[in-house]
Amino acid sequence: SQQGEEDPQALSIQEGENATMNCSYKTSINNLQWYRQNSGRGLVHLILIRSNEREKHSGRLRVTLDTSKKSSSLLITASRAADTASYFCATASIQGAQKLVFGQGTRLTINP
Amino acid sequence: IAGITQAPTSQILAAGRRMTLRCTQDMRHNAMYWYRQDLGLGLRLIHYSNTAGTTGKGEVPDGYSVSRANTDDFPLTLASAVPSQTSVYFCASSVLAGNTNTGELFFGEGSRLTVL
């Protein structure tokens, strides 16, 4: 079964707006990662946040982690048309930390 | 450019045929993985290997086998393909520190397999 579940499944916004995607998971984790997938391509790593971290930034990306709620969010600020892609969260659980388990993804569309 | 190479990129296969998807990485990563991606189900782990000579089962291993004879190669074999194995298959690699995946996965571009 999937460890992570993304919300929403699809998101469509105007260029320049901020996009927020959420991820919930079930078991205790070692770390949580976010990936991006352009249509027809492989996944590309965006950012990793460890279980003892609460927030992390990388360029226009901001990730938060709330281990008490078993949830994470990915914020993309000042969105661009090129940000159109699917975004996945993936968790490395404490019990099986050598394997990443992916959620179903959020399909983000940025309208010019 | 260093990375992961998958082959073939696309294949149509008759049910019952044997098929091997190839995966090669040149980053000397110790861990490698095979995922399948299906609409509405996201990515699901088929098999993984923490180091050359060892393999393990993921979430959906039935009907698939893998081998890890060396660090660079991690082929995935469908012994007798069935239509439910129609999917996009992704190979990935990473560096394991001890028994923990503390870093990013590097993905190949995928192999689209259709079983008729």
- Average pLDDT on A64-87 reads 97
Q: Which residues pair with A107 in a beta bridge?
A: A10, A86
**Which one has a higher pLDDT value, A76 or A112?**
A76
User: Is B103 an interface residue toward A (CB < 8 Å)?
Assistant: yes
**pLDDT category, A1, cuts 50, 70, 90?**
very low
* pLDDT score, position B109: 96
**Which one has a higher pLDDT value, B39 or A94?**
B39
**pLDDT category, B98, cuts 50, 70, 90?**
low
CA nearest to A15, candidates A87, A86, A108, A88 = A108
B-interface mutation test, from A43, A44, A51, A56, most B Cβ less than 10 A away: A43
HSE-up (13 A, CA, CB side) for residue A28:
3
User: Is A71 an interface residue toward B (CB < 8 Å)?
Assistant: no
The CA–CA distances, whole Å, from B100 to A91, B83, B88 equal: 12, 35, 27
- A98 pLDDT above the threshold of 70: no
CB A46 within 8 A of CB A107: no
Residues of chain B neighbouring A36 (CB-CB closer than 8 A): none
Q: Dig out the tokens for B116 from the structure.
A: 């008729």
* pLDDT score, position B96: 77
- B85 pLDDT above the threshold of 60: yes
* pLDDT score, position A95: 64
* A33-49 tens-digit pLDDT: 999 999 999 999 999 99
Give the integer Cα–Cα distance in Å for B116 and B77.
17
Residue A10, classed as helix, strand or coil, is strand
A44 Cα to chain B: minimum distance (Å): 7
- B101 pLDDT above the threshold of 60: no
Handedness of CA B6, B10, B15, B16 (dihedral sign): negative
* pLDDT score, position A93: 77
B50 Cα to chain A: minimum distance (Å): 8
User: Is B90 an interface residue toward A (CB < 8 Å)?
Assistant: yes
Residue A38, classed as helix, strand or coil, is coil
CB crowding B76-99: b at 16 or more within 10 Å, else e: bebeebeeebbbbbbbbbbebeee
Residue of A nearest to B103 (CA): A48
